[in-house]
Chain A
Amino acid sequence: MRKLGKLAARLLLVLGLGGFLGATLVRLAPGFGVDEEELDSRLSEGSMRALRQSNAASGSLAGFYIHYLSRLAHGDLGESQALNEPVRQLLAERFPETLKSVVLGLALGWAAGLSLAMLAVMSRMGVVDLAASLLASVLLCIPAAVLALLFVVAQAPGRLVLGLIVFPKIFHYARNLLAQSAALPHVLTARAKGLGSVRVLLRHILPVAAPQLLALAGVSVSLAFATAIPVEVLCDLPGIGQLAWKAALGRDLALLVNLTMIVTLVTLTANSAAELAAQPPRGGQA
């Protein structure tokens, strides 16, 4: 319970800090406080002054931050300057698309990485280990954007790229971890007593490696979200990665800051959940 409280406090702190940094970035961005209407030559001097005064209402950084946070608390994420739509609506439209890609990518990456790592460790055949390590090493050396382009050329589903980016990290980490666990004395004893490979893996190796593998789950969520940007841009998938790229090109900082904060919140929640799941049960072994 104490751990849960700590994690919730950390999330709140990040939200507060992220909000402050975001507000500062938006406030200091070139062109802040300048309205397009000021370019209208039909407006009189008085109207211009009134317009500038209304824009300068939340002029100081502290005032701007309080205004920004109070809006955030009411669920108002502001309006996108580049796309002329409420940020909340844009997120509601695009977040499910990214979530679909991320879930598929994570499932694929973890399934391939973990099963190949288990095969490499349990089969104890150098060829399997070498082939899997070689594949993972090659994938580690190719930028996600290039993989996405190659998938477009091959007319393959772009979402799979996320899996290919997650796979080598999972494979390398899981392989080393399982190999370490497989060399523990109790595993060697179990093998010597004639236990089958599957039983040794499920009963003696995986339970030892599970907490550290769970800790990796949180990191892989962050990796998958970051990979979503080039993949969605190049494969034309209408998710938040593509939205972030459009916002960057249109210098739409309000949208970008909100997107970064939301993705950070999601990845931090995933990390915290992984951390909690990796905790040994009370009274259990560390």
Chain B
Amino acid sequence: MKRVRLAAILFLIVVAAGCLLADVAAPASYAHQFRDLPDAAPSRQHLLGTDDLGRDRFSRLLYGTRVSLLLAPAAALLASVLAAVIGGAAGFLGGWLESAVMASTDLFLSLPWLFLLITVRALLPLNVSPLASVTITFALLGCLGWAGAARVICADARRLCGSDMVLLARASGASGFRLLWRHIVPNLKPVLAAQFWISVPVFVLTEANLGILGLGVAEPLPSWGSLLRELESFSAFSAQPWQLAPLVLLVLTVSCFHLVFKKQELWT
């Protein structure tokens, strides 16, 4: 199991390095069109061929991976920060605030996410730029994904508040912000980190679903979701197995996230 985890970590490092070095490793820009070569098969010049607009698939895969793998953690960070603030405050202060937060998290957890996301997405102006669309998509994911993590953090903060360590700190005269900042928050860090890493693959998959439906990142900026839209051309699908490259990469990356962070999940 240790070897499998090590292999998963190595794979994630290679993927992260590949997408971070996209500017150097990609043979062309993600939007550059080779107009005389639409739907080309893989060659030395185009490792995964070109799409129907003549854009190099390998380059788009590298840039798309960069978008998904940079912004999904950003959304997870936003969700974790919101969860830490809301859940931490509820667990620390208790009383009616804790009841209200618990009721809100129950509500958020029972909301059908995808319905909410497409509702808010439909509110955006039509002329939104690709960069704005990608930022808004992942910001929405972050803002809607805090509830599960907040529950866990609230429970942990409540447990810490009743611990001997905090009792001793109180007896020594620590209270309010100092107690929270010096004694509770540092002990919440492992739970927060676990919640962060659990959220990343969830957001990657949600963006992929939105992208396939045409409600994710706007063209020509690629993401895993928008790259997977190519799979809609079923007839070409069997003749061009290299179109499956984004799917294979997505499944492998999400699997590796699950493998690497499974242990952390168990700790929570």
Query: Taking beta carbons and an 8 Å cutoff, which residues of A are in contact with B?
Result: 10, 14, 25, 28-30, 137-138, 140-146, 149, 152-153, 218-219, 222, 225-227, 229-230, 233-234, 244-245, 247-249, 251-253, 256-257, 259-260, 263-264, 267-268, 271
Please measure, in the bound complex, the distance between the C-alpha atom of A218 and the C-alpha atom of B250, giving whole angstroms: 29
Surface stretch bound by A, among B57-65, B72-80, B229-237: B229-237
Query: Taking beta carbons and an 8 Å cutoff, which residues of B are in contact with A?
Result: 103, 106-107, 109-116, 118-123, 125-126, 201, 205, 208-209, 212-215, 228, 231-232, 234, 237-238, 247, 250-251, 254-255, 258
11 A-B contacts, Cβ less than 8 Å apart?
Answer: A14-B107, A145-B213, A146-B231, A226-B112, A245-B118, A248-B118, A248-B122, A251-B126, A253-B122, A260-B116, A267-B110
Q: How far is the CB of B184 from chain A (nearest CB, A)?
A: 28
The residue in chain B whose Cβ has the minimal distance to the Cβ of A150 is B231
Known: A153-B237, A230-B114. 8 other contacts (CB 8 A): A143-B212, A149-B212, A149-B232, A230-B209, A233-B213, A251-B122, A264-B110, A264-B115
Please measure, in the bound complex, the distance between the C-alpha atom of A252 and the C-alpha atom of B114, giving whole angstroms: 16
Please state if B250 and A229 are interface contacts (CB–CB under 8 Å): no
Please state if B205 and A143 are interface contacts (CB–CB under 8 Å): yes
Q: Which residues of B contact A146 (CB under 8 A)?
A: 208, 212, 228, 231, 247
Q: How far is the CB of B122 from chain A (nearest CB, A)?
A: 4
Please state if B110 and A25 are interface contacts (CB–CB under 8 Å): no
Q: Which residues of A contact B251 (CB under 8 A)?
A: 138, 141-142
Q: How far is the CB of B29 from chain A (nearest CB, A)?
A: 27
Please measure, in the bound complex, the distance between the C-alpha atom of A68 and the C-alpha atom of B231, giving whole angstroms: 41
A-side binding surface: helix, strand, loop or mixed?
A: helix
Decide yes or no: A143 and B111 within 8 Å by CB, A10-B103, A253-B123 being known contacts.
no
Q: Which residues of B contact A234 (CB under 8 A)?
A: 212, 232
Q: Which residues of A contact B255 (CB under 8 A)?
A: 137-138, 141
Please measure, in the bound complex, the distance between the C-alpha atom of A68 and the C-alpha atom of B213, giving whole angstroms: 30
Please measure, in the bound complex, the distance between the C-alpha atom of A233 and the C-alpha atom of B106, giving whole angstroms: 28
Please measure, in the bound complex, the distance between the C-alpha atom of A212 and the C-alpha atom of B63, giving whole angstroms: 43
Please measure, in the bound complex, the distance between the C-alpha atom of A256 and the C-alpha atom of B255, giving whole angstroms: 33
Please state if A267 and B112 are interface contacts (CB–CB under 8 Å): yes
The residue in chain A whose Cβ has the minimal distance to the Cβ of B125 is A30
Q: How far is the CB of B248 from chain A (nearest CB, A)?
A: 11
Most chain A C-beta atoms within 10 Å of own C-beta, residue among B103, B109, B122, B125 = B122
Q: Which residues of A contact B250 (CB under 8 A)?
A: 141, 143
Contacting residue for B110 out of A143, A144, A149, A218, CB 8 A: A218
Q: Which residues of B contact A218 (CB under 8 A)?
A: 110
Please state if A144 and B119 are interface contacts (CB–CB under 8 Å): no
Q: How far is the CB of A214 from chain B (nearest CB, A)?
A: 14
